[in-house]
């Protein structure tokens, strides 16, 4: 009985910590309208161009992954519970790859932010109860930045 109680408590603690964990604060490069990101963070021209490039890269990579999803769905047997479970695992792998692509390109864009833009990103993440990606912002020679 004590062993069952211990495992039940352990299971409960793991699930509560999973539920309470904050989600990543996604910038949404390639998904969110570029104008919105550009206006909110007051991007300079070089940053705007990189935003377009990164957005195109997200769309290209996700297009390939969407093709892979269609192929999995069309070609994978779906007659038994085991086959459906295998299909779900393959589907999850591709969806995880899409999330990794988004994270990678969001971080690349955030690394181009100046310290003030990055602070705004962190503030917006905090207001949304999300965990910001940690990157080192760029200090531009034409920007004035004073640490308070």
Q: Is 131:25 a contact under the CB 8 Å cutoff?
A: yes
Please check the confidence at residue 26 and state whether its pLDDT lies above 90. yes
Q: What is the pLDDT of residue 143?
A: 57
Please check the confidence at residue 142 and state whether its pLDDT lies above 90. no
Range with the poorest average pLDDT among 57-61, 67-71, 79-83: 79-83
Instruction: Name the average pLDDT for the chain.
Output: 85
- Say how far apart CA 24 and CA 42 lie, in whole Å: 22
In this prediction the pTM is 0.76
Q: What is the pLDDT of residue 78?
A: 84
Tokens of 108: 């690349």
Q: What is the CA radius of gyration of the chain?
A: 21
77-127 pLDDT, tens digit per residue, is 888 999 889 999 999 999 999 999 999 999 999 999 999 999 999 999 999
Packed helices 45-75 and 81-111: angle between N→C axes, nearest 10 degrees: 170
Please check the confidence at residue 1 and state whether its pLDDT lies above 90. no
């Amino acid at each position: 009985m004590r062993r069952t109680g211990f495992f039940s408590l352990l299971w409960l603690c793991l699930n509560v910590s999973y539920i309470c964990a904050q989600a990543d604060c996604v910038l949404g490069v390639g998904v969110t309208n570029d104008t919105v990101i550009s206006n909110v963070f007051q991007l300079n021209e070089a940053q705007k161009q990189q935003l377009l490039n990164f957005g195109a890269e997200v769309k290209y990579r996700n297009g390939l992954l969407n093709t892979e999803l269609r192929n999995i769905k069309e070609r994978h047997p779906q007659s038994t519970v085991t086959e459906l479970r295998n299909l779900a695992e393959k589907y999850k792998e591709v969806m995880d790859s899409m999330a990794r692509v988004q994270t990678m390109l969001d971080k690349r864009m955030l690394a181009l932010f100046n310290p003030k833009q990055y602070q705004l990103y962190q503030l917006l993440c905090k207001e949304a109860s999300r965990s910001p990606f940690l990157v080192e912002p760029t200090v531009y020679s034409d920007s004035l930045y004073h640490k308070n």
